Amino acid sequence: MIARITGTVLLSLVVFVVVSLLVSLGVAWLTGGVLTGAVIGIVCGLAAAFVISSVATAVGRNGGRPRRRTGDRGGGPEDEADRRRG
């Protein structure tokens, strides 16, 4: 659990830094405004890090659930009893 959280935080941090730098440099190069490039880069970096963190959380929540087979009806406890009988 701790390793998963640490991995997500590190990945988000790397994405934030890389996206911030690339967008900042690109905007500064196009417009010539360093302050504008820095602000836009930080906003884009935060958005990218948030998306990465959200996706990692969604994948982590779904990873614990067993996959349904095509023949399963509901997957609940009552279906398990039906499978034992028949």
Q: How far apart are CA 83 and CA 86, in angstroms?
A: 5
CA 30, 35, 38, 41 torsion: positive or negative?
A: negative
Pick the residue with more confidence: 24 or 71? 24
Which residue reads 């967008």 in tokens?
Answer: 23
Which residue reads 């994948």 in tokens?
Answer: 59
The answer to whether 68 touches 75, Cβ cutoff 8 Å, is yes
Map out the domains of the chain as residue ranges: 1-59
Q: What confidence tens digit (pLDDT) does each residue in 36-67 have?
A: 999 999 999 999 999 988 888 888 766 555 65
